[in-house]
Amino acid sequence: MRIHPLDLAIVIAYLLAVTALGMRFRRPRKDIAGSNRDSVSLDYFLGGRTAPWWALALSIVATETSTLTIIGTPAIAYGGNLTFLQLVIGYLIGRILIVFLLLPGYFRGQFLTAYALIEKRFGEKMRAVAASTFLITRAIAEGVRVSAIALVVSVVLGTSEHLAVVIVIALTIVYTFEGGMKAVIWTDVAQLLLYLTGSAVTFWILLHRIPGGWTEVTEVTSAAGHKLQVFDFTFDLATKYTFWSGLIGGAFLTMASHGTDQTIVQRLLAARNEGDSRRALVTSGVIVLIQFTIFLLIGVLLYVFAQHTPLLAPGERTDRILPLFLVREMPEGLAGLLLASIVAVAMSNASGSLNSLAASSVLDFSKLRGHSTDPVRFLRLSRRMTMVWGLILMCFGFIKWGPLLETGLTVASLPFGSLLGLFLLGTLDRRASAAGALIGMFAGLTAVLCVWRFTPIAYTWYVLIGCLTTFAFGAAASRIHSAGRIGNE
């Protein structure tokens, strides 16, 4: 079923409007010529550290929320229950741990990327290793997210999924290329407000479209079993969403994604000071908790609604449930606004990834870092890297992935543990050496890959396993290496 012409016009108008908004932050060439390279880097990659903390909080939420979240989270509740929310509680705990363990280190130096901290502790080669881990992980994980755009647009327009990916990524490249981090932050704010409003409206309309309202919801979910269950206190490593995997696994996943991944750390570094960065990070956790609660409840309401008006054909992917509802059941005009909000999430997430991938590529590798001292040429290089990564994400978006949300989280979880272990090793163990840290990273990654390949352990434990293995092997190898060096002397 194709979208109504009015709704299509709204989606197209949104795409053009947000691109124009991002273009407004283009820095005039005469200003660039009168600056030095450090000033250009600070402006293009950190927005000149001028954004208020509340805007950064909204930008963090917009960046970590993707089309996977918008369409994948309701699908989880539609096919299951609310136990995913336990993982989100762990997300909030992880943010608090970052505030105490990692954030102070970032503000003790004038860093432009997360991995500059690694260079200060372990040297240039380990900075390149950490940055490479980020680049590969982020590119693949973002590719999964980009593919979700195609799923939505294919439902809405009945057109080629590849064409949908090209259009959205191309427009995102335009304003990210020109406006840098300022464009990313302020378009994030606009896009977040749009899709949060859209989600609240979807919840309200869906509830009123169910005969009997909330009374019917409670009756149907009670008959279905544990549809409204939030907590599961069983201790089973193979179960994805339990209280223990949520609090512990979710906390470690967030420590990795928000404390070591350049995409989020870049926003923390863009704050005016450490206090603003702290406020932005913790506030974003509260917003995410509210946001996921709404998304999961929408999934439950879709389940109840489908008992009266079936939406999915037998065997059809549950990820299609929300887009199908919006296209088939929402009033004209409003459907376009809500579909535009889903596209907003995709563009917001992609723009943040593009800017952080370009920042890490240009600033974390010595050959590119020393490429040019001329600010105009350096900005040209930065923009060129934005374009390159945009094309790479486009290619990854063409790949067919599995269940979208869980696939994205699993891909990110595989290497995140070793990256978090590296940061904690450098922060907490003064005797850790670069050689020991490298051995620890390889050990952590190997352990997680073995767990993923040969055991039924759920992905929610991967970061914890990788982190602890990296830390333990890194600390032990550092001491063995140090003892051997002393013995040789």
Say if residues 156 and 342 touch (Cβ distance below 8 Å).
Answer: no
pLDDT attached to residue 33: 46
Nearest to 224 by CA among 329, 82, 324, 322: 82
Please return the burial class of 302, using the count of CB atoms within 10 Å of its CB with bins 0-12, 13-18 and 19+: buried
- Exposure class string for 264-278: b at 16+ Cβ within 10 A, else e: bbbbbbbbeeeebbb
DSSP state of 192: H
pLDDT attached to residue 394: 82
pLDDT attached to residue 407: 65
Q: Is residue 447 part of a domain?
A: no
Q: Is residue 459 part of a domain?
A: no
Task: Enter the tokens of residue 196.
Answer: 């949060």
d(CA 346, CA 456): 31
How many other C-beta atoms lie within 10 A of the C-beta of residue 455? 12
Nearest to 292 by CA among 83, 100, 39: 83
Structural domain including 172 reads 5-403
Q: Is residue 318 part of a domain?
A: yes
Q: Is residue 397 part of a domain?
A: yes
Say if residues 260 and 420 touch (Cβ distance below 8 Å).
Answer: yes
Task: Enter the tokens of residue 352.
Answer: 């943040």
Q: Please give the tally of structural domains in the chain.
A: 1
Nearest to 247 by CA among 259, 238, 258, 235: 235
Task: Enter the tokens of residue 191.
Answer: 């896009």
Q: Is residue 124 part of a domain?
A: yes
pLDDT attached to residue 156: 59
Axis-axis angle for helices 334-363, 67-79 (nearest 10): 120
Say if residues 209 and 330 touch (Cβ distance below 8 Å).
Answer: no
Q: Is residue 471 part of a domain?
A: no
pLDDT attached to residue 94: 95
Per DSSP, the three-state class of 362 is: helix
Say if residues 69 and 295 touch (Cβ distance below 8 Å).
Answer: yes
pLDDT attached to residue 255: 94
Long-range contacts of 227-233 (CB under 8 A, 24+ apart): 227/81, 227/82, 227/300, 227/303, 228/81, 228/82, 228/300, 229/81, 229/82, 229/83, 230/81, 230/82, 230/83, 230/85, 230/86, 231/83, 231/86, 232/83, 232/86
- Which CA distances in Å does 144 have to 194, 231, 422, 457, 461? 23, 28, 26, 22, 21
158: left (phi over 0), alpha (psi -120 to 50) or beta: left
pLDDT attached to residue 338: 74
Count of residues making up the chain = 489
The CATH number linked to 377 is 1.20.1730.10
Our CA angle for 441, 446, 448, nearest 5°, is 100
Q: Is residue 452 part of a domain?
A: no
Place of tokens 């723009």: 351
pLDDT in tens, the chain (489 residues): 456 788 878 877 877 887 777 777 665 544 444 455 566 666 777 777 888 999 999 999 988 877 667 778 888 899 888 999 999 999 999 999 999 999 998 888 777 788 988 988 999 899 999 999 888 888 877 777 777 666 666 655 566 667 777 877 887 787 777 667 787 888 888 878 887 888 888 899 899 888 888 889 888 888 887 888 899 998 888 888 899 999 999 999 999 989 998 889 989 988 989 999 999 999 999 999 999 999 999 999 999 998 888 888 777 778 778 878 877 888 877 777 777 777 767 777 777 788 888 888 888 886 655 555 566 777 778 888 888 888 888 887 777 655 555 666 677 778 889 999 999 999 999 899 999 999 999 999 999 999 998 999 988 899 999 999 999 999 999 988 776 555 555
Say if residues 467 and 437 touch (Cβ distance below 8 Å).
Answer: no
Q: Is residue 458 part of a domain?
A: no
pLDDT attached to residue 244: 94
Say if residues 62 and 263 touch (Cβ distance below 8 Å).
Answer: no
Give pTM, 2 decimals: 0.84
